[in-house]
Amino acid sequence: MDVDAFIAVHRGDWQRLDDLVRRRRLDGTESDELLVLYQRVSTHLSIIRSVDPESALSGALSTRLSRARTRFTGARSNVMEDMAQFFVLSLPAAFYRIRWLTVAVGLLFVAVAWLYASWVTSTPGVIPALGTDEELRAFVEEDFVDYYSENPAASFAGLVWTNNAWIALQAVAFGVTGIWPAFILYQNAQGIGLVAGMMASYDRLDVFFVYILPHGFMELTAIFIATAAGLRIFWAWVAPGRRSRSVALAEEGRALITVALGLVLVLLVSGLVEGFVTPSGLPPWLRLAIGFLVFAAYWIYTLVLGRRAVAAGHRGDLDVVDRGHSDITA
C-alpha cells in the first residue's frame, strides 16, 4: 500500500475529526458527524495496523481516536463501580497471574535467608566480625525487641508502611531492568538471614520469630509479589512471544502496575499489624495467629476472586477504552 497516497486521500477526514473534537459545543448534526468520522478513522487505523502496526502514523491515528472517544464518552464514570472493578476483577486477576512466580520467589528468599543464617551460626569468626559480644548481646536482648515499640504505634505503622510501599513500587516499576527486583529480594533475604543467625547464636531464635512473623507473613509476601511482578515485566521484554516487544512490555506493564497499587493497601494492613500487634502484650500465639490470618486472607482473595476474574478474561490490564485501542470498524 502507498502510505503517502493513503494520507493524501484521508487527511481531510482526520483534520475534520480534530476540528470537531476541539470545539467546545457541538450541535446534533456535528455530533452525528463526529461519530461517523470516528468510525471511519477507526477503519483507517485498522488498515494501517495491518500494514505497519508500529508506525508513527498508527500512533497518531490512535491518539486522534482516543481524543475523539473522550469527547463523546466523556461522562464521568461511577466511582463505586470503578472501585468494585478494581478490587473484584483487576487486582485479584493481576495477583493470580503471578501466583506461582510469587511462590517461587518466596522459596528462593527463604533459601537465601537460611543460608546466611547457617553461615553465621556455623562459621567461626563470623559472629566476632559482626560486633563485640557486648554489642551483639545488647542487640539480641534489647534493641531487636525495642525497635518495634520505641516509637508511638501509629507513627511507627505509618513509617514502615510508606517505606515498604516505596520498596514494592520500585520492584515493580524498575522490574524491566531484571536487576532491581532481584537486588531488593537478595538484600532483604541477606538482612533477615544475618539477624536470624545472630539471634540463634544467642539462643533467642524464638524471640526472632515471635517479632518477625506476625507482620512478616504478609509484609514479606508483599515483597515477593512485587518482585514477581517486576520479573514478569522483565520477561515480557526478553521473551515477548508473538507480540512485539513494545506491545508485550506495554501490556504487562499496565497489567502489573495494578499489583503495585494493590500492594500499597496490602502493606498498609501489614504496617498496622507491625505497629499495633507485633509489639503488643498479646500472647505470642495470638500475635502469630493474627499475622497468619492476614496472610491467609490474601491468598483466599487471590485464589478465589483471582481465578474467577482470569476465567472471565481479566488480566489486570485497563479495559479497551482506557488503553486507547479501538476495534470499531465502519
232 and 175 Cβ atoms separated by less than 8 Å: yes
95 and 315 Cβ atoms separated by less than 8 Å: no
Average pLDDT over residues 226-242: 87
Q: Which of 82-86, 100-104, 138-142, 143-147 has the highest mean pLDDT?
A: 100-104
Q: For residue 317, what pLDDT is reported?
A: 65
- How large is the angle between the packed helices 153-173 and 245-272, nearest 10 degrees? 170
d(CA 158, CA 219): 14
- Closest by CA to 118, choosing from 186, 205, 212, is 205
Cell output for 226: 512485587
Identity (one letter) of the amino acid at 170? Q
Q: For residue 300, what pLDDT is reported?
A: 97
What pTM does this model have? 0.74
Q: For residue 54, what pLDDT is reported?
A: 67
Residue 321 confidence (pLDDT) above 70: no
Q: For residue 74, what pLDDT is reported?
A: 58
Number of Cβ atoms within 10 Å of the Cβ of 5: 9
Return the higher-pLDDT residue of 194 and 86. Answer: 194
pLDDT tens per residue across span 129-161: 988 999 999 999 999 999 998 888 888 888 888
pLDDT tens per residue across span 155-196: 888 888 888 888 888 888 888 888 999 999 999 999 999 999
Residue 259 confidence (pLDDT) above 60: yes
Average pLDDT over residues 263-281: 93
Quote the distance between the C-alpha of residue 92 and its chain's center. 11
pLDDT tier at 103 (50, 70, 90 boundaries)? Answer: very high
Residue 326 confidence (pLDDT) above 50: no
- Closest by CA to 285, choosing from 193, 203, 198, 206, is 206
Per the listing, cell 495470638 goes with 286
Average pLDDT over residues 59-75: 75
